[in-house]
Structure 1
C-alpha cells in the first residue's frame, strides 16, 4: 500500500536525520544545525500549511528565533538543545525584542529530543510559553505526519525528503536475521521488566534436557543440533553486530522465562507442544507488526534459549 510505503520512508528519513544531528553535535560539529533550519522550514510548511521564512536571514534582530510566518503569526526556534536554561533564554529574548507584538505564538522544535520541563509555562505577563503544547521534537513531528489522512500530502512530503536528503542505501537483511532481530526487539520491550523473580539465575542445561525432559531429550537435542548447523552463525552474528546491549538481552531473557513457563503450564509440561505454541506466537507477533518471519530461525532461537534455561526455567524451591 502506498500509504504504508510513504509512512516508512518518512520515519526512516527523519529518524536518520535525527541520528546525524546527534552524532555531529556530540563531536561539536554544529554546521548541521544551521542547515537544519532551512530543511525544517520547508518541511513544516508542507506539514502545517505555514509560510515560514528564515528570519535569521531577513532580520538579524530576531535573536533566538529562527523561522517566522508573518501571516499566521507563528515564530519557531529550531534547536538541538533541550535544557531548561535554553528554553528560558529563548522566551526571554522573544519578550525582550517584543516579538510577541509580531507573532502570536512561539514554538520550539527540538531536532533531537525534547525534555519534559516541570514548569507548565515559561515567561511573564507579556508572553507565556506552554511547555507541553509549544515544544515539539522529531518524534512528535513523525506522529503528526504519519497520522495525516491526506495521501497526497504524504507523497509531497516523501518527494521533499527525497530531494533534500541523501539517505544511505539500505541493504535488505535475510529473513532469518530479521526474524531473530524482531523477536529480541519485541520481547525486550521496556514493559517487560521481570528480573527473573522465582527462577534460578544459573542455567543447568544438562539437568533440564536429560532429567526434567528425559522423555523428550532426543527430540530436543536433535532439534538444537540441526538448528545450529543452519542458524548458529546467524544468531551469533545478530548478537555481535546488532545494537542490543546487555540490558536489553537480559530483559528479553527474563521475559522469556515467565512467558514460556506460562505456556508450558498450559500444555501440561509437554515441551514439544509448548515450543510449537511459542513459535506460533512469535510468527503471529512478527507478522502483525510487518516483520519477515523464518520459522527455522525462530525455532532455533527458541531451542537455544531453552538450553540456556531462559525457556522453561527451573523455579526456585522455597525453603521449608
Structure 2
C-alpha cells in the first residue's frame, strides 16, 4: 500500500468507529466507550509519542480523567459528548486539583469539536488548558496523520488494522463506480474503437500544465477511447438519474483528497489506486482479472482527466467533448 491508501484506510476506520459511537444504543454505549478509551490510549501513544495509561486501573470510577501520562504530565478526558458544558464539568471536578502541574486535554471521539476550540471555558482550578491545541477530534487527528511520512502512517495503519480491522468492517454497499466498471469490462478496448478526440491539443496542453511525465503515455493512449467511454456513460445514464455524474463526482472527490501527496504523477496514480480499492469493496462489483480491472480504471480516470474532474486545467481549457 502507498501513502494515500494508508491514509484513506485510517480515515475510513476512524469515521466508522465514530459513527458506531454516535449511533449505538444505550445498552452497548458503555462497553463501546470503554473499548474506545483503550483504543485511543494506544493510538495517541503511537501518534504523539505519549506514555498514556488508563487512570481507572489505579483509581476506580474517576470523573473527568480517563487517560494519564505521568512522564509528559498530561491528563485526557475521552468523551462521546462534545459540548462546552461537558468540558467545563470536567475542569470543575475536585480531582483536577491533584494534578496542578499537568496539562488537561479533551478528546471528542464521535463529534467534531472545531467550534469548541474557539470557545472560552471556566477553569476554576487553573490547570493548563489551551482549547485551540488541547481539544482533539477526528479531524485534528487526521490532519496530524496526513503530515506523517509513509513509514509512520504504516505504523498507524497496522495498529488500526489490528484493533479495528475485524471489529468494525464496513458493510459492503453497491456503488455506481463498480457498475460503470462492470459495463466497461464487457467492452473490447482495441484499435477498432480508437478515435482521435476533439481538441487533442487541449489534452496535450493540460498534460504539460500539470507536468505529468509518467502518466503522459497512459493519457495519450487511453484518450483515444474518450468517445467510446462517452457513449458508455450515455448508456449508463439510461439506467437512472445522476449515474455518470455520481461516478465523476466520486473520482473528483478522491482527487481532492489526494492533492496534497507528492508529485502530480503520484497524485494521478494515487487516484487510480484508491478507486481500485473502492470498486473491489463494492457489493455489486463483478469480479474480473486484476489486469482487466486496472485497464478499465485507467481508461475511466483518463476520461475523467479529459473532463476536468482531476488535475488542474490550464486557462481556457476545452475538454474533448464527443
CA-based RMSD of the aligned residues comes to 4.0
* CA deviation map 1:56-113 (0-9, x unaligned): 12123742100001000011110001121111110011x554133352x010000012
CA distance in 2, matches of 1:154, 1:226: 38
* CA deviation map 1:204-262 (0-9, x unaligned): xxxxxxxxxxxxxxxxxxxx9986654322547x69xxxxxxxxxxxxxxxxxxxxxxx
- Which stretch of the first structure deviates more once superposed, 37-46 or 8-17? 8-17
* CA deviation map 1:114-155 (0-9, x unaligned): 262464343036325322221111111111112112x22211
Matched, 1:108 2:114: no
Structure 1 regions of 5+ residues with no counterpart?
A: 180-223, 240-277, 299-320
TM-score by length of 1: 0.55
Do 1:67 and 1:75's aligned partners in 2 also have CA atoms closer than 8 Å?
yes
Quick check: which has more Rg, 1 or 2?
A: 1
Matched, 1:12 2:12: yes
TM-score by length of 2: 0.55
Do 1:82 and 1:115's aligned partners in 2 also have CA atoms closer than 8 Å?
no
**Shift in alpha-carbon separation, 1:125–1:235, aligned structure 2, 3 A:** same
SS in 2 for 1:123: coil
Matched, 1:139 2:139: yes
SS in 2 for 1:64: coil
CA distance in 2, matches of 1:110, 1:138: 8
Matched, 1:88 2:94: no
> Hey, what does 1:159 align to over in structure 2?
158
**Shift in alpha-carbon separation, 1:97–1:61, aligned structure 2, 3 A:** farther
Structure 2 regions of 5+ residues with no counterpart?
A: 181-229, 257-270, 276-296, 305-322
> Hey, what does 1:233 align to over in structure 2?
239
CA distance in 2, matches of 1:119, 1:287: 33
Do 1:91 and 1:123's aligned partners in 2 also have CA atoms closer than 8 Å?
yes
